[in-house]
Homo-oligomer: A and B are copies of this chain.
């Protein structure tokens, strides 16, 4: 019973968290700043989330998911190029923040790390598995584990490039990834 929680507060808090996360990254994100930008009191935030890590996890969980591009034409390569380009954009835009949170929080709270990994896995699945099946043209002969291979390799190479190499995923890279890595793998030996 009692006064119900104000769902408007939830939205404001998570939105503020996401925007600050994007602007400053996990470590530079302060609860006081979240409170300030959202207009909520610190108490209100801590009533909902045990600590900063839990807040960030919830914020990332809450963020709106972009929908993958529809595979217009029937050409497999064209469809893959579009899908990979979109995937690279998504990862560059959103995943980095969560990865930072994951690294920062994973040592101190393994339970939370697992939660963040669950979100990451779910999102990557949504961005790779079903979209790939749509992207496959009819009549193509692909390896039986094509979808799994795509889901395993494509995000891995993209994340690695963005994070470790620190380079953008431009058109040249997308073509390289599709032509030199993904298509050979999917078509099998």
Contacts and interface: CB of A to CB of B under 8 A. Distances in A.
Given A28-B108, A103-B163, A114-B166, 16 more contacts: A24-B107, A25-B106, A25-B108, A99-B164, A104-B104, A121-B165, A149-B181, A155-B160, A156-B156, A157-B157, A159-B160, A160-B160, A184-B184, A184-B185, A184-B188, A187-B189
Nearest to A166: B117
A36 interface: no
Count class of interface residues, chain A: 35 or more
Given A159-B156, A159-B164, A185-B184, A99 B103 contact: yes
A120 interface: yes
Contacts of A117: 164-166
